[in-house]
Chains A and B, each alone.
Chain A
Amino acid sequence: AQKVTQAQTEISVVEKEDVTLDCVYETRDTTYYLFWYKQPPSGELVFLIRRNSFDEQNEISGRYSWNFQKSTSSFNFTITASQVVDSAVYFCALSERTDSWGKLQFGAGTQVVVTP
């Protein structure tokens, strides 16, 4: 069964528009961590943000912000005022406490295309 679902396959926006990426996760653990990673066209995986299950406070970091809602098991990610360099595949990932060795379970990814 899918533990992490990213329903949006691709999102296309024009530069300066905001982009919100959806992530829905499934776990029975009470302690878990959620992550967002970015994979630009060059292929590497770049860590963006991490959130633990006990902290639902939503934050903003530069042009990135996230909305964590345990009630709906969602961990959405927003890029404000998108730029062409934001074009990439974005992966949401889950690490469960019972997986004590930190296995990351990734969603299928959302391709973001930002055009000038």
Chain B
Amino acid sequence: EPEVTQTPSHQVTQMGQEVILRCVPISNHLYFYWYRQILGQKVEFLVSFYNNEISEKSEIFDDQFSVERPDGSNFTLKIRSTKLEDSAMYFCASSPGLAASTDTQYFGPGTRLTVL
């Protein structure tokens, strides 16, 4: 069964460093998402991406964040200068593209980012 994959599973970085989190969405899916979950809290939407551009972003997704689909399979989230409060689990998700608001989103296993 196709699944979303994410690498690395755990990333430790120093405050101020740049990190890139990688995701491979399910093949043939057209909508891509990043969410984050601070430890013990709810899952929060960061950004959605369709047709090679951001379609929606949350208040959390400020200028420190960027997303890219560098090739036909990868979808990346970059944090330019990490802060302590960026420590969280980051989930990538994808959906088929029949209609974004009605599709089921399938999530990857997450990348745990720890900022020291």
Contact = CB atoms under 8 A, between A and B. Distances in A.
B88 to A, nearest CB: 12
A33 interface: yes
B102 A103 contact: no
Contacts of A45: 43, 91, 93, 107, 110
Interface string A84-102: 0000000101011101111
B101 A108 contact: no
B25 interface: no
B14 to A, nearest CB: 23
Interface residues of A, number: 28
Given A101-B56, A102-B95, A109-B42, A43 B89 contact: yes
Contacts of B65: none
Contacts, number: 72
Contacts of B31: 101-102
Contacts of B106: 47
A97 B107 contact: no
A104 B109 contact: no
Contacts of B48: 101-103
Given A99-B101, A102-B33, A91 B89 contact: no
A96 B45 CA distance: 13
Interface in A27-68: 31, 33, 35, 37, 42-47, 50, 52
Nearest to B9: A43
Contact of A44 (B100, B104, B107): B107
B41 A101 contact: no
Given A47-B104, A102-B31, 15 more contacts: A42-B109, A43-B110, A45-B43, A45-B110, A46-B107, A101-B31, A101-B101, A102-B95, A102-B100, A104-B35, A104-B45, A104-B93, A107-B42, A108-B41, A108-B42
6 contacts: A99-B101, A102-B33, A103-B33, A104-B43, A106-B42, A108-B42
